[in-house]
Amino acid sequence: MDTAAEIVVDAGCTVGDVHPQIYGHFIEHLGRCIYGGVWVGPDSKLPNVNGLRRDVLDATRAIHPPVIRWPGGNFASGYHWEDGIGPRNKRPARFDLAWKAPESNQFGTDEFIDFCRKTGAEPYICVNMGSGTAEEAARWVEYCNQTTPTHDALKRATLGHPEPYSVRYWGLGNETYGDWQIGHLTADAYSRSCSEYAKLIRRVDPSVKLIAVGCDSQDWNRRVLSECWKQIDYISLHKYYRGGEDYYDVVAAPLDAERSLAELSRIVETTVPAERQVHIAFDEWNLWYPEADEQSGLHQRASLTDGVFASGIFNALHRLCRTVKMANLAQLVNVLPAIVTDDEGRIYVNPTYLAFKLYVDHTGTKALRTEAFSDTYRSQKYGLDVPYLDASASLGPNMLHLALVNRSKVDEMNAVIRLRNARARAGGSLSELKGERPDSTNSFETPNTVTIG
Ligand code: AHR
């Protein structure tokens, strides 16, 4: 059945600049994300470039990642960066206390930077505020960014990288508010520690952008912002929603994320003096299925519904573009994955990946005021009335992009598009995420069940 809807795009009213970094990614030492996903080593029988898996490099390049966050996640809170540099056969194997698994340290800072350079992404490194120290973090910045002939900068040069890596984004810890985290802290203790880390890191490189840990507790956010606003550039938020449950709740979840991000934006506005800009980094987001447990290495099989969910997230991020300036899907390969590989050299991409492809290829630089009018349904879970149609428009050079999500499981939609303050030329093109059913999935055997058509 066709249902009626209307979309009003005002080309004369810009909401803000769409920051390319909202299409960012995240890779963590966890399950098969790094080992078997990003990294197979130079001696692998699988095609690789300096040990980086070639098919993953190609698939990653195709979605033009603007920024990649590493090494965690929870893993970051127990990671000592010096274990991961120098000749690989001399690096210590450690027991990773975050995920309770062996860590070979074959993939470290130099390999990560190589992955970023080869995929065109900016590196974003999260420092260890669990078992590490501020001094250790500052020396990591020295290793990456300094040109001075001092110990850590010289070490980078002697390992074959004379040019500084110029890593701009540094995360000050990960989910420190949670009791699962190595180095769990109260908001006040985190704020003090965050200031100390920021102080030392900025002494090494004042130009870096620092991302503090935020969360869904506004009390935490207010305390961190009040104490640290002078030193930080971003505050983060992580959001995971349960995958595979009621379809209509899953596709409503981006509106819940939008509500939380808007709430965090309000806290930033009311806590941080106007002379300083603190943005939001939504630096972990995804659906998380019950099957993705520690035994499976957080592996899950995503369906077309996941692609609809991801598209809803992107539309929300366009609407919030004045405050949310970075976002990172958790995660790129094999862990809650966008890309899936096996050890035989097979690869396929999930509908979430395809949503990235669609939006990265078809989003302009300016978000336009866009309203969508359609029937709604009630999501009890989120206490929201959810419109079946979600729309966001953006303007690129000589081109208006309209991104639409039809949340209905069964109905096609007949939408009238009204364009204000501009005249449309004839023509245009349409790309869409296609699959037979909301639960259609891709696999190694059937990699094109869900496609872009
Ligand atoms: O992405 C998986 C894990 O989820 C991350 O390590 C952690 O930050 C979050 O809880």
Look over the chain and give the mean of its residue pLDDT values, rounded to a whole number. 97
Residue among 323, 318, 285, 329 at smallest CA distance from 390: 318
CA distances to 7, 143, 421 from 14, in Å: 16, 41, 11
What digits encode the pLDDT tens for the residues 353-392?
Answer: 999 999 999 999 999 999 999 999 999 999 999 999 999 9
What digits encode the pLDDT tens for the residues 200-255?
Answer: 999 999 999 999 999 999 999 999 999 999 999 999 999 999 998 899 999 999 99
Strand partners, 240: 286
pLDDT at 2 over 80: no
The residue whose C-alpha atom lies closest to atom 3 belonging to ligand 1 is 73
pLDDT band at 1 (very low <50, low <70, confident <90, very high): low
* Residue 298 CA, closest ligand 1 atom number: 2
Residue 354, Cβ density class (10 Å: 0-12 exposed, 13-18 middle, ≥19 buried): buried
Kindly state if the Cβ of 283 falls inside 6 Å of ligand 1. no
* pLDDT the model gives residue 118: 98
* pLDDT the model gives residue 132: 98
pLDDT at 451 over 70: yes
Residue among 68, 46, 64 at smallest CA distance from 55: 46
What digits encode the pLDDT tens for the residues 250-283?
Answer: 999 999 999 999 999 999 999 999 999 999 999 9
Strand partners, 403: 392
| Exposure on the CB side of residue 402, measured as CA atoms within 13 A | 23
- CB count within 10 Å of CB 199 equals 12
* pLDDT the model gives residue 308: 98
| Helix 187-204 × helix 134-145 angle, to 10° | 30
The residue whose C-alpha atom lies closest to atom 9 belonging to ligand 1 is 73
Residue 25's SS3 state is strand
pLDDT at 427 over 90: no
Instruction: Tell me the best of 174, 211, 213 to mutate to test the pocket of ligand 1, counting ligand atoms within 8 Å of each CB and taking the most.
Output: 174
| 73 CA distance to ligand 1 middle (Å) | 5
Kindly state if the Cβ of 33 falls inside 6 Å of ligand 1. no
* pLDDT the model gives residue 155: 97
Dist CA 230 CA 260 (whole Å): 23
Burial 161-195 (b: 16+ CB within 10 A, else e): beebbebbbbbbbbbbbeeebbbebebeebbebbb
* Residue 28 CA, closest ligand 1 atom number: 6
| Helix 54-61 × helix 109-119 angle, to 10° | 50
Residue among 10, 42, 43, 101 at smallest CA distance from 402: 10
* Radius of gyration of the CA atoms of the chain, in A: 22
What digits encode the pLDDT tens for the residues 322-337?
Answer: 999 999 999 999 999 9
What pTM was estimated for this model as a whole? 0.98
List the catalytic residues. Answer: 175, 284
